[in-house]
Amino acid sequence: MNSSGLTGEDEVTILSSIYVSALGLSLIGSCSVVVVSIIKRRHLNEQAKPLLQLALADFLASLVLMITAIINLPREVLSVSAKVCMYGLPLSLAFYSISFLLVIIYACESAHAFQGWREEPMQETFETQLTQLSHRRRRFCLIYVIAWLVPIIGYYIYIRTVHYMEATITQGEMPTLTTVSRGSSARFCNSCILFLHLTNDSCVTVDTVHALFIRIFTLCSVLIVITVCTVVYCKIEGSYRRYENTCMITMTQRNQGGIWSSARYMILVIIFCWAPALLLICLSFPQPRIKPLFPLFVLQALSVSLQGFLNSIVYAWRRRNFREAVLGERLPLMAYSSRAFFDQSLSEPSS
């Protein structure tokens, strides 16, 4: 019996099937936003940039994670599964990290856009608006490049350290995946499922050092994005409450329930998708001898896999200004309003 409570091939197959099914929804949702953002970029204008970046990160994360799940479906262990798993799972987490960074950027840009148009003078020259827009676009490009490069560089360093450790360990000290005994034990040890092998796992093929790093990195990343987004959106809500009774917010701009009615869904998506994974990670540190963890693995597989699908709904299709721009029911956003999309996506009613 391993520490996770999974013993046979059926459990691995069930988890893999859940991943493939749920990730299919995320691929469809993310891909729809990517395609629409490219085709309708003339009507979407500024909002196409953050939405396209976020949807693309979710799409790539779902695609890589689905590939790693598919290799678990055959009954016979594939010889290529070891390499695919070693490169695939960390790469999917790298893309999820990019998604986290883009969510934080989205929240910060929402705060800047919401406060900026209310604090700036009402009369501005056309040249001033163009200059500010040019500066903002350059800043966006730099921020997005950093958001993509940092996780990718981290992934490259991670892979290089894995190869370095493999090179320093002799063949006799570390058996390869093909030398593991056949049966359910080999099926479990060779499986490529996110967070499956806990710290007190008996599989000799598991790199415990890098597995521990992955768990700590994921735990810190999710907690940081939840904390930052909650603080930022709470500050926006506070600013909204201070301005809502003034002439700076007209009746058509007011949103019943305030900013929080929209922002809470963005935070709830992260909590829903990663709370089971965080619980599994926390349970791994004290090395529990708990057998009935399989339902938690099922819940974790379902929730993590749905992130791309839920993000596509919350950040894109649930937004009325996005739907109207996509359907061609309004002019390009920057043509009729001085307010940025980040601000509109929070303060406009969603229906």
CA distance 79 to 83: 8
Using one digit for the tens of pLDDT, what is the confidence trace for 72-120? 876 554 555 667 788 888 999 999 999 999 999 988 888 777 665 444 4
Structure tokens at 322: 């996005």
Q: Higher confidence at residue 291 or residue 326?
A: 326
Check: CB of residue 186 under 8 Å from CB of residue 134.
Answer: no
E-only strand ranges, 113-226: none
Q: Kindly write down the DSSP assignment for every residue of 253-315, as one continuous string.
A: T--TT-THHHHHHHHHHHHHHHHHHHHHHHHHTT----STTHHHHHHHHHHHHTHHHHHHIII
Domain ranges of the chain: 9-117+130-343
Provide the 8-state DSSP code for 181: P
Phi–psi pair at 291, nearest 5 degrees: -80, -50
This prediction has a pTM of: 0.81
Predicted local confidence at residue 185, as pLDDT? 57
Using one digit for the tens of pLDDT, what is the confidence trace for 186-202? 666 667 888 876 544 55
Check: CB of residue 277 under 8 Å from CB of residue 194.
Answer: yes
Domain at 9-117+130-343, CATH class = mainly alpha
Average pLDDT of the segment spanning 140-151: 90
The residue type found at 343 is D
